[in-house]
Chains A and B, each alone.
Chain A
Amino acid sequence: MSVNCTDCGGNIDLPQDAEIGEIIECPDCGLEYVVTELENGLLTLKELALKGEDWGE
């Protein structure tokens, strides 16, 4: 399964043996995603939230 990176549009492949909670980086820009589980049991990627210096308006 693959997902498009929300920042650069690059292709991120989700390995077949990926585990929930595993952190996977977009190979094109390095943005981190965490493997999560959908309601139907399938795995997907969710962007990892980091504590940044600036966020929120």
Chain B
Amino acid sequence: MVDLAILYDRSESDELGIRLTAEEKEIELEYIPFYKIAFGFNKNKFTFQSTGKDYSQVIKDCKVVLNRGQSKNRRIFAASIMEGLNKEVVNPLNVETICQSKIRSLLKFMEKGINIPKTVYVPCNVKEEMASGEYIDNTNTIIRLVENQLVKNIVIKPDAGTHGRSVSLAKNSEDLMKILNQLQTDITNPSGVVAQELIPKWFYDLRIIVSKEKNKKAFCEPTALVRGGFKEFRTNTFLGNMVFHVNLPENVKKQAEKCGKALANDSEAWLIALDAMPNIDSKTYVNENELKQKFTELQEPFEEVLKVKADPNKKSDFVKYSKNVEKAYLKYKSNEAYAYIQEVVSKTLHKTSDKVVFHEGNSCPEFWEQTRIIAGINVAEPLLACAKSLLDR
């Protein structure tokens, strides 16, 4: 009988990393699939079965579930089901529900007086279907509503999107018209239009890990992952931006803990990865051309990292893959250009720490490669600690 379980639809390196870390710490972790299974339930009983195996007893026996579904929506279903079966879940349903939506997250930050980008939400869709089957075009009205409150450099983003997908920058009304004409109502943007002011973050943003174990205070990891580059205004690493690390100023850590508590409400144990941006005015603190040159120098070592990451056999020999990717990242990190850029990030962040802006929380962060190796945070450790703390009732 195993108390802890990990649930996922399909594993990526993070889930395998959690399992490896659990093994190293001699923590027994059962596996619950959440893809091709049937969860059947009626008044007093349930079954949880794949075509070849019955997981019902595994679920009955476990007390705490680490929810690592790949999809936001699937994670919400998983959390609902597991909590419905009286399990503790990391992260709990309320955290998943809030973090799923940028607007809901920002409202929680606003309640606590945290610095956020000015945001405008217009509930109506760009195109609404009429009873006749034809569509009414609301683009002009939406533009007027948004431009009444945001002046120029407006970011349009899907409320539930990830990895920078469909995030666009409108520099003027014409751009805004083009972007809105392409905006779809779908699973990542189920209703309305989300517009935000563009924060002058210069070339980087931050991924900050905060967590809380049961009966302990919220804790912000002292180091953050920095995502940076000059390719475009979006700094997601999925888009090819590079990564660095930075030691966080005390006031930023305090704000991050406040953010985590705002998103988690009164949940007993949770782990959230916050996205934050420095707010750096037009004074750039170094010669930008020299900085861009350093990015160019780092390109080749970073491409070596990407080659290792693309290993098609990473899952079948995960330990070997982990060692190879660590070696590649450490080589990248030892480069003089890395040290130069890291120093610029550190200096500018410390100079502008009171103006850092928080804009969303990720309830199921990826971490095995970049956060773990570059920022030095194996997120599996606090995750497992959160889960274990819930066992000590």
Partner-B contacts on A (CB < 8 A):
6-10, 25-31, 46-47, 50, 52-57
* Measured CA separation A38–B236 after assembly (Å): 36
Cβ–Cβ < 8 Å partners of A53 in chain B: 70-73, 162, 187-188
Identify A31's interface contact among B35, B53, B238, B370, CB under 8 A.
B35
Q: B53 contacts A10, CB within 8 Å?
A: yes
Cβ contacts under 8 Å, A8 to chain B:
31, 33
User: Which residues of chain A have C-beta atoms less than 8 A from B53's C-beta?
Assistant: 10, 27-29
Q: In residues 241-278 of chain B, which contact A (Cβ within 8 Å)?
A: none
B interface list, Cβ under 8 A from A: 8, 10-12, 16, 31, 33, 35-37, 50-53, 70-73, 162-163, 187-188, 237-238, 312, 315-316, 364, 366-371
B367-A29 in contact (CB<8A): no
In the complex the two chains form, what is the Cα distance from A15 to B316 in whole Å? 21
Find out whether the CB atom of A27 lies under 8 angstroms from the CB atom of B238.
no
Task: Given A7-B10, A26-B52, output 5 extra A-B contacts at Cβ < 8 Å.
Answer: A50-B10, A53-B162, A54-B364, A55-B12, A56-B366
Residues of A within 8 A of B370 (CB): 57
Residues in chain A near residue B187, CB distance under 8 A: 53
Partner of A27, one of B10, B50, B73, B366: B50
User: Cβ of B36: which chain A residues have Cβ within 8 Å of it?
Assistant: 25, 29-31
- Tell me, in angstroms, the Cα distance from A31 to B10 when the chains sit together: 7
Across the interface, name the chain A residue whose C-beta is closest to B36.
Answer: A30
Interfacial chain A residues near B371, Cβ < 8 Å:
57
CB distance B11 to A6 under 8 Å?
A: yes
Contact: A57 with B315, CB < 8 Å?
no
The smallest beta-carbon distance between A11 and chain B, in angstroms, is 9
**8 pairs of residues in contact across A and B, judged by CB atoms under 8 Å:** A6-B16, A7-B11, A27-B53, A29-B50, A31-B10, A53-B73, A53-B162, A54-B70
Residue with the highest number of chain B CB atoms closer than 10 Å, among A10, A27, A29: A29
Q: What is the chain B residue whose CB lies nearest that of A48? A: B10
A9–B312 alpha-carbon span in the complex (Å): 19
Structural contact, A52 and B70, CB atoms closer than 8 A: yes
Residue of A nearest to B313 (CB): A46
| Distance in angstroms between the alpha carbons of A9 and B12 in the assembled complex | 15
A28 / chain B contacts, CB cutoff of 8 Å: 33, 50, 52-53
In this complex, the member of B51, B52, B163, B238 whose beta carbon has the largest number of chain A beta carbons within 10 angstroms is B52
For the complex, give the distance between the alpha carbons of A11 and B16 in Å: 18
Contacts of A56 in B (CB 8 A): 163, 237-238, 366
B71 x A30 contact (CB < 8 A) = no
Contacts A10-B52, A25-B51 given; does A54 touch B71 at CB 8 Å: yes
Kindly provide the distance from the CB of B239 to the nearest chain A CB, expressed in whole angstroms. Answer: 9
What are the residues of chain A within 8 A of B51 when measuring CB–CB? 25, 27, 30
Write the nearest CB–CB distance from A7 to chain B, whole angstroms. 5
Q: Chain A contacts of B162 at CB under 8 A? A: 53-54
User: Chain A CB within 10 Å — which of B8, B51, B188 has the most?
Assistant: B51
* Least distance between B102 CB and chain A CB atoms (Å): 15
